[in-house]
Each structure stands twice: as C-alpha cells, then as structure tokens.
C-alpha cells in the first residue's frame, strides 16, 4: 500500500500528471514488454520525457511505432518525447511507449511495478504501472 501512496503522491506534486498507466503482459519466455500511460503537462512550457527508471528490466527506452516505406517500424525516440505545454500525450500500443528490455522477472497480471518518469526540467514522477492483458494487440509481435 505504501508504494501506491508514494507513487500517487509523486504524480500529484508536479505540473506533470500521469494517468492510466499499465504494462503489457507478455508470455514467460518473452524478455521484453512495453509500458503505456497518458501524460499531461500542465505547465506553461514544453517538457521532454527523457528517461524512465525501474529495476524491472535491464534497459528502458522511449520508443515509437512509425510507418516507414509501407512497413511499421519501432524506433527509439532520440532526445526524448516532447509533451507540449497544457497538452496530453498518449503512450499506447502502436504509438509511443516505454520499451522494457531484458525483463528481470516474469510478468503476471497480479503485479504492480514502480516506474519513475524523468523529464528534462528535472521533474521525476514516480508512478505505479499494473500489469494487464492487452486485448487489442494480442498476437502482434513487438520487434525492431
């Protein structure tokens, strides 16, 4: 319970609000997953999501899916993801997402994980990310 309180307290102490956070459940043999959320920047200046911290995986990057030459490609967002002032950006399947590479444990729907979103203005927003089934993308491969 303390983790939930800390996560929500951190999310409310800044102009940056994070809502609807979750991590996609993957089969036990898959060592990568993705995190999603809605990020609102209530400040008067643009900010960039530049990093995510967690012990859940060996490496974490901010990625996007993009159509290139008729093929859907996944790439790291160089320099961070801009969240314009007074605007929300959705991290969702098929778009921007938090790429969790080299998971340190098997994911289960009963789990919740702490991730800290790091912004270029110095804000660090801790948030609880529950593990959930993703009905919309079941069967889709998540590859580079």
Residue 2 clears pLDDT 70, i.e. is over it: no
Residue 139 lies in a domain: no
Residue 85 lies in a domain: yes
pLDDT of 33 reads: 97
User: Mean of the per-residue pLDDT values for the chain?
Assistant: 87
Max mean pLDDT range (3-12, 35-44, 64-73): 35-44
pLDDT of 52 reads: 98
Convert the pLDDT of each residue in 77-127 to its tens digit. 999 999 999 999 999 999 999 999 999 999 999 899 999 999 999 999 999
Residue 143 lies in a domain: no
Residue 144 lies in a domain: no
CA angle 50/136/83 to nearest 5° reads 25
**C-alpha separations of 130 from 25, 34, 95 in Å:** 10, 12, 19
CA–CA dist 20, 128 (Å, integer): 10
Residue 138 lies in a domain: no
Confidence class for position 7, pLDDT limits 50, 70, 90: very low
Check if the beta carbon of residue 49 is closer than 8 Å to that of residue 119: yes
Domain count along the chain: 1
Residue 1 clears pLDDT 60, i.e. is over it: no
pLDDT: is 8 or 69 the higher one?
69
> Domain with 18 in it: what CATH number?
2.60.40.1890
Residue 137 lies in a domain: no
Residue 141 clears pLDDT 80, i.e. is over it: no
pLDDT: is 58 or 136 the higher one?
58
Q: Which domain range does residue 125 map to?
A: 2-132
Check if the beta carbon of residue 107 is closer than 8 Å to that of residue 23: yes
pLDDT: is 135 or 130 the higher one?
130
CA–CA dist 19, 127 (Å, integer): 9
Residue 115 lies in a domain: yes
Residue 8 lies in a domain: yes
CA–CA dist 134, 144 (Å, integer): 20
């Amino acid at each position: 319970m303390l983790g939930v309180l800390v996560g929500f307290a951190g999310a409310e102490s800044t102009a940056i609000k994070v809502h609807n956070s979750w991590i996609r459940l993957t089969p036990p043999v898959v060592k990568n997953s993705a995190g999603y959320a809605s990020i609102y920047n209530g400040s008067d200046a643009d900010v960039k999501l530049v990093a995510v911290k967690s012990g859940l995986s060996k490496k974490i990057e901010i990625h996007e899916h993009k159509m290139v030459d008729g093929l859907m490609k996944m790439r790291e967002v160089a320099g961070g993801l801009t969240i314009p002032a007074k605007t929300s950006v959705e991290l969702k399947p098929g778009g921007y997402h938090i790429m969790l590479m080299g998971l340190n444990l098997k994911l289960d729907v009963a789990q919740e994980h702490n991730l800290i979103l790091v912004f270029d203005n110095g804000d660090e927003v801790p948030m609880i990310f529950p593990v959930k089934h993703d009905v919309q993308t079941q069967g889709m491969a998540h590859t580079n």
